[in-house]
Amino acid sequence: MAAVLFDFSGTLFRVESTESWLRAALDERGATLSGPELAEAARALEAAGALPGGAVPVELPADLAGLWAVRDESAELHRAAYTGLSRRVALPDPGLHDALYERHMSPAAWSPYPDAGTVLRTLRERGVGVGVVSNIGWDLRPVFREHGLDPYVDAYVLSYEHGVQKPDPRLFSVACEALGADPRQVVMVGDSRAADGGAAALGCRVHFVDHLPVAHRPDALLPVLDLVR
C-alpha cells in the first residue's frame, strides 16, 4: 500500500464527554449549574446530538433535517446545525450555545487514541503517505499540532474546504491525488461504514474501527500496520 487515509473523530481522536464539554463552556462564561442540573443538561445535550463528534441525535427535529444532511459542506452549515441542536436545550445563559460550539473546536476538547501516535509515526518511518479525510466544519489542524501528530500527516482533506462530504468519492479522490497515490494502493481507516465506506468506490481498501472512548480502545489502529507491510 502506498498511502493510508484516516478519519478524524472516532478514529484517530475522540472528543471529550458531553459533561466535560458543558462544564468547560460554563467555566468560560462564568456560569454555574448545580451538580444535578449539570448532569441533566449534559444528558439533554447528548440526546439532542449537540456535541460534534459525540452521539447523534436521538430524534432529529424536522426543521433541522435538511441542514443536518449537508452540515459538513461548509463552516456556516456546520455551526448552524449544531448550535440549532444545542438550542433545543434550556441553558442558564443564551451565550452558552456559541460557547459550546467554540469549545468543541479547542484542542483541549480532543484526545488521541493511545495507539494513534505509534501508528502514524511508524507509517512515516516506512515511507507510507498519510492523509486525514474528515467530514467536519472547522480546521482540525491545530488539534494535530497541539497533540504532536501533525508532523506525521502529509495531507488534510476536510469536507468544509471542498464543499463535499463523505461518502462522496470525490473527497477521497482529492486525498489520493494530494498524496500522489493510486486509490487501489490506498487504505481508508474510519469508524463509519456509511461515510468512510465511500472510499471503496474508488478501489480503496477500507478498514473499520469502533468509535469508543479512548480508555476502551487502546490498540485498534495497530492492525493497520499489518495492512501496509
**pLDDT per residue of the chain (229 residues) written in tens, 0 to 9:** 899 999 999 999 999 999 999 999 999 999 999 999 999 999 999 999 999 999 999 999 999 999 999 999 999 999 999 999 999 999 999 999 999 999 999 999 999 999 999 999 999 999 999 999 999 999 999 999 999 999 999 999 999 999 999 999 999 999 999 999 999 999 999 999 999 999 999 999 999 999 999 999 999 999 999 999 7
Helix, strand, or coil (residue 119):
helix
69: cell is 444532511
Q: Give the position of cell 495507539.
A: 115
36: cell is 444535578
Query: May I ask the CATH architecture of the domain 3-14+109-227?
Result: 3-Layer(aba) Sandwich (3.40)
- Cα-Cα-Cα-Cα torsion 48, 171, 169, 207, nearest 10 degrees, comes to -70
Describe the crossing of helices 75-86 and 96-104 by its angle, rounded to 10 degrees. 130
Q: Give the position of cell 472528543.
A: 15
What own/partner pairs with CB < 8 Å and gap ≥ 24 does 38-43 have?
41/89, 41/91, 42/17, 42/18, 43/18
Pairing between β-strand 155-158 and β-strand 129-134 as defined by DSSP bridges = parallel
CATH 3.40.50.1000 domain range(s) in the chain: 3-14+109-227
Q: Comparing C-alpha atoms, which of 48, 190, 10, 21 is closest to residue 106?
A: 21
Residue 6 in contact with residue 199, Cβ under 8 Å? no
